[in-house]
Structure 1
Amino acid sequence: MVYRTFGWVQNPSDFKKLKKTVQVFDPSSEHYQQLRKHIVHDVVYFAEDKNRLQDQLDNRVCEFSYKDLVGSNINKDGKSPKKRSESVANSLLQVSILPQSTKTKGKLHTDNWTADGFLRWAVSLNFVSHNRDTDTFKITDFGKKFSSSEDDSLEERTILREAMLSYPPASRVMSLLADAKEPMTKFAIGSQLGFIGEKGFTSYDEDLMIEWLKSANDANEITKIRSDVEGTSDKYARMICSWLAKLKYVTKKSTKYTSMAGKQITGFQKYALTGEGLHAIKQANGSSKNKTHPKFVMWEFFATENARDDEQSREYVRTRRAYTLKGLEHHHTIGSLLESLKDHGIFEEKETLLADLHKLVSFGLRITINKNTVRLLDTINDFSIPNQTFTLAEADVTSEKIKNHFRRVTELPERYLELLDIAFDHKRNRDFEMVTAGLFKDVYGLESVHLGGANKPDGVVYNDNFGIILDTKAYENGYGKHISQIDEMVRYIDDNRLRDTTRNPNKWWENFDADIPSDQFYYLWVSGKFLPNFAEQLKQTNYRSHANGGGLEVQQLLLGADAVKRRKLDVNTIPNYMKNEVITLVPEA
């Protein structure tokens, strides 16, 4: 049995190519006939692939394997190519989805990564179905309607609109826009979309991104921040909005900001519902005159990847959420839902269930949670769950227990509990920087600016009374002493003290409030865990810079944020903790 991920699509956006994808499964379509008559023969490179695919098309086969649809990334020698341009075609979708370079360079096939993206999109919108047992795909009845509709017709648009209203993440985006008092950026939408607080669903703080854009030093940096820097949920939000805009459900609005240099710069796009979009989502969500629009879900929608990339853990989470959703048809209290999960061999704490329920809401399902009462307001299709037992990896069991502890003892938003995972994942350095900076701004109530880039610290945190030079370090087994990073921090401290544009022309220190007293600047490292030899790093940094600072482990960062939120910790006392040691803001319970 093969388990794939569906439901979340980041890159495909062309409805014409989506239609071609669906028509690969429809022998009555013109595209299928073109594949059969000449495309496979002319474009597929290896004779073995060509003959196999041609035979299937000649026999009007309409169910294909993942391999025959997506193919692989190989060159003429059957090896992994050094450059993408050296790859050859070896699958049906590769020769169906033509790239931009077709017109300029005559390239008649795409890559396997793009082919996979369009296949996922077609499955996620219920145009194509997947058989887990055989890892094969075929067209659905809904897909046949889409395939046979006339291009650019009202019928085609109606079908695509229906698909979007049935797709929970799209209906979630539309509902967020319907409730908003003003247009929203992808960051504002992304912060409320998907399985918040998990790998694969990170969102960057909107104000933080705007301030970073304003502080950029040149046009290239501005373009990079505006185009390339976003959390995964922000990217989903942007992509879904682009689909909805093509269907006239959403409008896009450009923005302008004034940079720190006093120049007008193009900001982040904002999105708003059109009148048609507002009417459609109100109808879909039901009223006294209209039934709710059914939602299409699959077991494969309920997670993308696990914190530690353990497939068993991912499938366990999917199964837990799937049985939770099915349980809502008959159980309407937290207690009875927990009991129903036990019937399926799933034993979880109340906090995990509540977190799942809230995440299913941000996924796009309408669920009301009122104290102990829970109700599903949407109608969903009857989806299947694999008849197999999955288990959480030991590391993920531990991680969930720690998160549940924080859910019980703090009032922090779920998205910040992700720091408990990010802080130990070196591949997510930017996420660690952005989410940490967002926490300082959103919960601690301090001014926070993400910087990054050459000759700049990760960020600065400040108020009228003090400023902190911030450096985040994500290490799987903990962060110890690093001579080069002592050198970096001392250089930043000296940059800020001297403020010499000859020494460092990027003037990153101008992000601090100009009225902060010169003796009230501190340095701070934040990491998941500090090793014993980190104490020497703090000692040397203080000795060389004559500045005070410290190290803050992520659990203390979170506990401190909760203490500030509850008004049990005054942020203005934070300098008192800067004693060149690992900081304890709140004694752990």
Structure 2
Amino acid sequence: MAFRTFGWVQNPSDFTKLKKTVQVFDPQSKQYEELDNHIIKNVIYFDRDKERLQDELDNKVSEFTYGDLVGTSHNKEGKSPKKRKEAIANSLLQVTILPQSAKTKGKFYTDNWTADGFLRWAVSLNFVAYNREKDLFKITELGKKLSQTNDGSAEEMEVLQDAMLSYPPATRVLSLLANSKHPLTKFAIGNNLGFVGEKGFTSYDEDLMIDWLKSATTKKEHDKIKSDVEGTSDKYARMIAGWLVKLKFVKKHTNKYELDNGKTITGFQTYSITGSGLHAIKKANGSSKNPTKSKYVLWEFLAIAGKQDSEQTRDFIRTRRAKIILGLNNHHTISALIDFLSHEGIEVDESLLNSEIKKLISFGLRIKQNGNSIVLQDNVIGIDIPNQTFTPAEADLNSEKIKNHYRKITNLPEKYIELLDIAFDHHRHQDFEIVTAGLFKDCYGLSSVHLGGQNKPDGVVFNNKFGIILDTKAYERGYGMHIGQIDEMCRYIDDNKKRDVVRQPNEWWKNFGDNIPKDPFYYLWVSGKFLPQFNEQLKQTHYRTSINGGGLEVSQLLLGADAVMKDKLDVNTLPKYMNNQVIELVHQ
């Protein structure tokens, strides 16, 4: 049995290509006819692939395997290509979804990664059905309806709009825009979209990103921040909003930001709902005249990855969420839902269940909760849970237990509790930098600017009484002593002391506020865990610079944030903890 992921699409955005993808499954369509008559013969490279696919089309087959549709990445020798352009065509969707340069470069096929993206999109919008037992795909009734519309027609637009209103993440985006009094950036949307607080659904703070964009010292840096730096949920938000723009439900706006020197720069795009979009989401949500539009949800929509990228963990989470959704049909209190899940072999406490409910809401389901009472306001169709028991990885169970402990003892948003995972994943160092900077701003109430880039610290944190030079370190087994990083921090400290434009032309220290007195500046490393030898790094940094600082483990970072929010810790007392050792803000 194959277990794939659907429901979350990052790159496809061309509805014309989506329609062609759907038509591959329709023997009555023009695309199917062209594949059968000449495309397979002329574009598929290997004879064995050509003969197999040609035979299927000649026999009007309309149900295909994943391999037939997406194919693989191989060169003419049948090996993995060193460059993407060396790959040959070996699947139906590769020769259906043509690159923009097809006519100019004569390459009439795409790569398997792009083919997979369009297949995911077609399944996610219920145009193509998936049989996980056989790993087969076939067209749905809605897909046939799309396939048979005239290109560019009002009927085609209506089918696409109708499908989008059954896709929970799209209705989530529409609802966020409908409830906002002003246009929203991808960051504002992404912060409230998807399974917030999990790998695969990270969002960056909007104000932090705007400040970072304003601090860019070169056009190259500006363009990179504007186009390439985003959390995964921010990317989903941008893609979905882009689809909704094409369907006339949403409008896109260009922003300008004014800098301190009076110049203006191009900012992040924003999105607002149109009259058509507002009417559509109200109608989809139901009224006295209109029934509620059913939401299409597959089991495969309900998670992307576990902490350790364990498929067993991922599929356990999918099953837990699917059973919560099904349980909400008949159980309308938290306590009854917990009992139902226990009977189904899923053990949760109230804290974990509340966390899952919040994530299902940001996924796009309308769930109303009032104390112990809970009501699913949507009619959900499509869920089919595999008849299989999934056992989460031990590391993921431990991680979930730790995070659930912090859910119980703090009032922190889920996106910051995710730091307990991010801080130990070196592949997510950018997430660690940006989410940590966001925590200092949102929860500690300090001014915080993420910097990053060459010859700059990760960020600066400050108020009008003190400033902190921030460096984050994500290490799986903990952070020890690194001579090169002592040198780096000492250089930042000296940069800030001397503020010499010749020595450091990027003038990163200008991101500190103007009202900070001359002396109270500190250094701070933040990591998941510090190893014993890290203490020597703190001593050497202080010895070489005469500046005080410390190390803050992510557990204390979170507890300190919660204490500040609960008025149990005065943020202005942070300097007294800077004693060149690992800091304990809150006794556990």
TM-score (norm 1): 0.99
- What is the aligned partner in structure 1 of residue 360 from structure 2? 360
- What is the aligned partner in structure 2 of residue 77 from structure 1? 77
CA distance in 1, matches of 2:248, 2:80: 42
Identity %: 67
**What is the CA deviation profile of residues 429-473 of structure 1, one whole-angstrom value per residue up to 9, with x for unaligned ones?**
000001000000011110000000000000000000100000000
Mapped pair 1:471 → 2:481 = no
- What is the aligned partner in structure 2 of residue 219 from structure 1? 219
- What is the aligned partner in structure 2 of residue 271 from structure 1? 271
- What is the aligned partner in structure 1 of residue 107 from structure 2? 107
**Structure 1 unaligned runs (5+)?**
none
One-letter code of the match for 1:338?
A: I
One-letter code of the match for 1:462?
A: F
Shift of 1:261: 4.7
Mapped pair 1:439 → 2:439 = yes
Q: Write out aligned runs for 1:125-164 (5 A).
A: 125-164=125-164
- What is the aligned partner in structure 2 of residue 529 from structure 1? 529
CA distance in 1, matches of 2:133, 2:199: 27
- What is the aligned partner in structure 2 of residue 245 from structure 1? 245
**Structure 2 unaligned runs (5+)?**
none
Shift of 1:262: 3.6
Q: Write out aligned runs for 1:368-379 (5 A).
A: 368-379=368-379
CA distance in 1, matches of 2:427, 2:235: 18
Aligned residue for 1:166, secondary structure, equals coil
CA distance in 1, matches of 2:564, 2:147: 56
Shift of 1:201: 0.4
One-letter code of the match for 2:221?
A: E
Mapped pair 1:256 → 2:256 = yes
- What is the aligned partner in structure 2 of residue 315 from structure 1? 315
Mapped pair 1:95 → 2:95 = yes
Aligned residue for 1:129, secondary structure, equals strand
Contact in 2 for aligned 1:214/1:260 (Cα 8 Å):
no
Shift of 1:93: 0.2
Aligned residue for 1:469, secondary structure, equals strand
Is 297-306 or 251-260 further displaced after alignment? 251-260
One-letter code of the match for 1:8?
A: W
Contact in 2 for aligned 1:434/1:450 (Cα 8 Å):
yes
**What is the CA deviation profile of residues 485-506 of structure 1, one whole-angstrom value per residue up to 9, with x for unaligned ones?**
0000000000000111111100
CA distance in 2, matches of 1:100, 1:85: 14
Shift of 1:286: 1.2
- What is the aligned partner in structure 1 of residue 59 from structure 2? 59
CA distance in 1, matches of 2:272, 2:49: 47
**What is the CA deviation profile of residues 129-182 of structure 1, one whole-angstrom value per residue up to 9, with x for unaligned ones?**
111111110000110000111111011000000011000000000000000010
CA distance in 1, matches of 2:198, 2:47: 44
CA distance in 2, matches of 1:162, 1:252: 21
**What is the CA deviation profile of residues 73-132 of structure 1, one whole-angstrom value per residue up to 9, with x for unaligned ones?**
111111111111111000000000000121321210000000000000000000001111
Aligned residue for 2:461, secondary structure, equals strand
One-letter code of the match for 1:188?
A: A
- What is the aligned partner in structure 2 of residue 44 from structure 1? 44
One-letter code of the match for 1:456?
A: K
CA distance in 2, matches of 1:411, 1:421: 18
Q: 1:416 to 1:5 in 2, by over 3 A?
A: same
Aligned residue for 2:143, secondary structure, equals helix
Shift of 1:479: 0.4
Contact in 2 for aligned 1:213/1:259 (Cα 8 Å):
no
One-letter code of the match for 1:358?
A: K
One-letter code of the match for 1:113?
A: W
Aligned residue for 1:169, secondary structure, equals helix
Aligned residue for 2:72, secondary structure, equals coil
**What is the CA deviation profile of residues 242-282 of structure 1, one whole-angstrom value per residue up to 9, with x for unaligned ones?**
00000110000100012355421100001000001001101
CA distance in 2, matches of 1:390, 1:349: 19
CA distance in 1, matches of 2:537, 2:211: 31
Is 255-264 or 488-497 further displaced after alignment? 255-264
- What is the aligned partner in structure 2 of residue 299 from structure 1? 299
Shift of 1:288: 2.1
CA distance in 2, matches of 1:434, 1:260: 23
Aligned residue for 1:130, secondary structure, equals strand
Shift of 1:35: 0.2
RMSD (CA atoms): 0.8
Aligned residue for 1:180, secondary structure, equals coil
Aligned residue for 1:17, secondary structure, equals helix
CA distance in 2, matches of 1:497, 1:359: 45
One-letter code of the match for 1:36?
A: D
- What is the aligned partner in structure 2 of residue 9 from structure 1? 9
**What is the CA deviation profile of residues 365-393 of structure 1, one whole-angstrom value per residue up to 9, with x for unaligned ones?**
00011111110000111421000000111
Aligned residue for 1:195, secondary structure, equals coil
Aligned residue for 1:408, secondary structure, equals helix
- What is the aligned partner in structure 2 of residue 335 from structure 1? 335
Q: 1:289 to 1:122 in 2, by over 3 A?
A: same
TM-score (norm 2): 0.99
Is 480-489 or 258-267 further displaced after alignment? 258-267
Aligned residue for 1:369, secondary structure, equals strand
CA distance in 2, matches of 1:419, 1:180: 28
Shift of 1:299: 0.3
Aligned residue for 1:448, secondary structure, equals strand
Aligned residue for 2:8, secondary structure, equals coil
Q: Write out aligned runs for 1:416-427 (5 A).
A: 416-427=416-427
Is 240-249 or 285-294 further displaced after alignment? 285-294
One-letter code of the match for 1:208?
A: L
- What is the aligned partner in structure 2 of residue 381 from structure 1? 381
Mapped pair 1:548 → 2:538 = no
CA distance in 2, matches of 1:287, 1:585: 51
**What is the CA deviation profile of residues 31-66 of structure 1, one whole-angstrom value per residue up to 9, with x for unaligned ones?**
000000000110000111111100100010001010
CA distance in 1, matches of 2:81, 2:147: 34
- What is the aligned partner in structure 2 of residue 123 from structure 1? 123
- What is the aligned partner in structure 2 of residue 391 from structure 1? 391
Aligned residue for 2:165, secondary structure, equals helix
Contact in 2 for aligned 1:126/1:143 (Cα 8 Å):
yes
Aligned residue for 2:272, secondary structure, equals strand
Q: 1:243 to 1:15 in 2, by over 3 A?
A: same
CA distance in 1, matches of 2:556, 2:354: 24
**What is the CA deviation profile of residues 258-316 of structure 1, one whole-angstrom value per residue up to 9, with x for unaligned ones?**
23554211000010000010011011111222211110000000001112101000000
CA distance in 1, matches of 2:16, 2:310: 36
One-letter code of the match for 1:85?
A: K
CA distance in 2, matches of 1:375, 1:553: 39
CA distance in 1, matches of 2:157, 2:307: 38
* Matched positions, count: 588
- What is the aligned partner in structure 2 of residue 199 from structure 1? 199
- What is the aligned partner in structure 1 of residue 405 from structure 2? 405
Shift of 1:349: 2.0
CA distance in 1, matches of 2:264, 2:280: 37
Is 100-109 or 532-541 further displaced after alignment? 100-109
CA distance in 2, matches of 1:142, 1:77: 40
CA distance in 2, matches of 1:568, 1:271: 39
CA distance in 1, matches of 2:515, 2:416: 30
- What is the aligned partner in structure 2 of residue 324 from structure 1? 324
Contact in 2 for aligned 1:5/1:300 (Cα 8 Å):
yes
Aligned residue for 1:239, secondary structure, equals helix
- What is the aligned partner in structure 1 of residue 538 from structure 2? 538
Aligned residue for 1:504, secondary structure, equals coil
Contact in 2 for aligned 1:157/1:247 (Cα 8 Å):
yes
Contact in 2 for aligned 1:449/1:460 (Cα 8 Å):
yes
- What is the aligned partner in structure 1 of residue 230 from structure 2? 230
- What is the aligned partner in structure 2 of residue 31 from structure 1? 31
**What is the CA deviation profile of residues 539-560 of structure 1, one whole-angstrom value per residue up to 9, with x for unaligned ones?**
0000011110000000100000
CA distance in 1, matches of 2:499, 2:433: 24
Is 375-384 or 189-198 further displaced after alignment? 375-384
CA distance in 2, matches of 1:163, 1:436: 38
